[in-house]
Amino acid sequence: MNQETQKKKRFPNDKQHYLLSRGLSLKREELVLSKINKNYYIYRKLTSRHIKIFKQYLSGETLEKIGRKRRLTRERVRQIINSVALYKASEAAKEGRFVIDLKEYLQGMKRMHKLAKKARTKEESTPRVNKPKRWSRYYDYCRICRTTIIPHASHGYCKKCYPKTNIFKELQEASRLRNIEKRREYEKEYSKKYHRRPEVIERKKEYYKRPETIARLKKYRQEYYKRPKVKERIKKYYQRPDVKEKNKERNRERYIKKKRGIY
Ligand SMILES: [Zn+2]
């Protein structure tokens, strides 16, 4: 199956297909076609009243004002205006005045709304009435102290009470642990890089050659092996079976060497 034959099967009306085929993918074409066909169907229901509404909107009346006059909601008025505009665009395309492109169509709609806004005078546009604010979206007052003066933090608690709750404490601890892990990873990477620097290596060599450091390390070693914990660890090490076998072999070799020395 070629693409053209597929297209012909999908869109039997050649003229429509020709009009829509430029610069649009198959899915886009289908979308636009379906919209236009729907609007043809709507136009059978469209009356002169709908077109009057469209003209009123272009002359500069707001959606609300039109709705109040005709006893319609604002949203319904918007739907009617959009459908009439789409119908007009589709009619123009049918006559061959222009090729429908989705981009062009949307830009045209934008332009239309802009012109309507310009035609509107400042007196006609009604200012929005602000509703009285609730304390929060879902709560009327704090769950603990029942204030409405202190602003809402979260979970229905005010800013003063929220840090006392278990929810906040759990979150805080989790974040603390996360930060410690991050910090340790960062420190590891930094130390690896630090000890590979040539300047640092030279500095270390000089440091370990000093007589003060050598004396200090000697003292440290002597004190280290006197610690009770270290002594226990060493005992445990020599009681291991693999270590015992190693030591046995070594002792045998030493014993043989000694004998040879004597005899
Ligand atoms: Zn509170």
> Do 47 and 153 belong together in one domain?
no
Helix (H) or strand (E) holding 15: helix 14-20
Range of the domain at 263: 227-263
> Do 169 and 221 belong together in one domain?
no
Residue 128 is assigned to a structural domain of this protein: no
pTM above 0.85? Answer: no
Residue 184 pLDDT class (50, 70, 90 cuts):
very high
Look up residue 13 and give its two tokens. 């009306």
CA of 168 to the centre of ligand 1 (A): 14
Burial readout 173-202 (b: 16 or more C-beta within 10 A, e: otherwise): eeeeeeeeeeeeeeeeeeeeeeeeeeeeee
The count of structural domains within the chain is 4
Residue 129 is assigned to a structural domain of this protein: no
CA of 159 to the centre of ligand 1 (A): 7
Residue 176 pLDDT class (50, 70, 90 cuts):
very high
CA of 154 to the centre of ligand 1 (A): 11
Residue 124 is assigned to a structural domain of this protein: no
- Please give the Cα distance from 130 to 62 (Å, whole number): 19
Q: What is the DSSP letter of 157?
A: E
> Do 209 and 180 belong together in one domain?
no
- Please give the Cα distance from 34 to 185 (Å, whole number): 57
> Do 109 and 13 belong together in one domain?
yes
CA of 138 to the centre of ligand 1 (A): 15
Residues with CB under 5 A from ligand 1 (ion): 142, 144-145, 158, 161
Mean pLDDT over residues 121-149, rounded? 79
Q: What is the pLDDT of residues 77-90, one digit of tens each?
A: 988 888 787 777 76
> Cβ distance 102 to 108 under 8 Å?
no
CA of 239 to the centre of ligand 1 (A): 63
Which residue(s) pair with 154 in the sheet?
157
> Do 155 and 217 belong together in one domain?
no
CA of 46 to the centre of ligand 1 (A): 57
Q: What is the pLDDT of residues 31-86, one digit of tens each?
A: 666 666 565 555 556 778 888 888 888 887 888 888 888 888 888 898 888 878 77
CA of 177 to the centre of ligand 1 (A): 28
CA of 27 to the centre of ligand 1 (A): 55
Segments of the chain assigned E as strands: 152-154, 157-158
> Do 219 and 240 belong together in one domain?
no
Per-residue model confidence (pLDDT) at position 19: 47
Residue 11 pLDDT class (50, 70, 90 cuts):
very low
CA of 143 to the centre of ligand 1 (A): 6
14 has pLDDT over 60: no
> Do 15 and 72 belong together in one domain?
yes
CA of 252 to the centre of ligand 1 (A): 79
Helices 198-209 + 166-195 axis angle, to 10: 80
Q: How many residues does the chain have?
A: 263
177 has pLDDT over 70: yes
CA of 149 to the centre of ligand 1 (A): 9
